[in-house]
Amino acid sequence: ALVAAAPGTAQLTAGDERGRTQRGNTNAWCRDDEIGWVHWTPHEEAEARRAFVAEALATRRRLGLGAIPAATARIAPFEAAEDLAFFETGAFALLRRERGGARRVVAANATAHDVEIPLPAATAGASWRIELATERGVAFDPSGSSLALPAGCVALLADGGVSLEAVPEELSGDRAGAAP
């Protein structure tokens, strides 16, 4: 979920979408053993992970999160903001402001307990909505001012500032319909 929220190209390697971890080894490409092997045998847990990665990448595309305008080299990163004042060891929340007024919040809780993350006020006439969460059924009141994030959960929220349903081709990186 964090990779899907980052600007630029989503950095996934073979098997990541199925839960392949390499057990923290960053040089698995040069190993011919269990650490470097990708297991493609279908099983329920791997399929659930693959489906979630597909959902995360579809959400990323729909919201234009990976988009970096070609006219500029400056990336609009998620940033800590005064109206999103939250800090707890092992958990964080960052705000990204988009052109046109839309805003995104990515919140991550790597602790062993639930955390309450305060949210900034939504754009006028809008409310925050959960676009993606690593845990199903995250309790959230869109009219509220905070998000109860379960232990080990990552969530991506958007306010209704602007619809990014149709991201221009030059921003989305979609070249599928382009001539070769």
Contacts 24+ apart (CB under 8 A), 45-48: 45/19, 46/18, 46/19
In the predicted structure, residue 153 carries a pLDDT above the cut 90: yes
Q: Are 168 and 70 in contact, with CB atoms under 8 Å apart?
A: no
In the predicted structure, residue 166 carries a pLDDT above the cut 50: no
From 126, 94, 138, 129, select the one nearest 5 (Cα to Cα).
Answer: 94
Alpha-carbon gap, residue 59 to 63, rounded angstroms: 6
In the predicted structure, residue 73 carries a pLDDT above the cut 50: no
Rounded to 5°, the CA angle 85-110-102 comes to 45
Alpha-carbon gap, residue 141 to 127, rounded angstroms: 10
Residue spans of the domains in the chain: they are 2-20+29-63, 82-158
Task: Give kind and range of the element (H or E) at residue 93.
Answer: strand 91-97
The half-sphere exposure of 114 on its side-chain side, counting CA atoms within 13 A, is 9
pLDDT digits (tens, 9 = 90+) for 87-116: 677 888 888 777 667 788 888 999 999 988
162 pLDDT tier (thresholds 50, 70, 90): very low
| pTM (predicted TM-score) | 0.67
* Topology, domain 82-158: Immunoglobulin-like (2.60.40)
The whole-number pLDDT of residue 154 equals 92
In the predicted structure, residue 167 carries a pLDDT above the cut 50: no
Residue 158 φ/ψ, nearest 5 degrees: -135, 145
80 pLDDT tier (thresholds 50, 70, 90): low
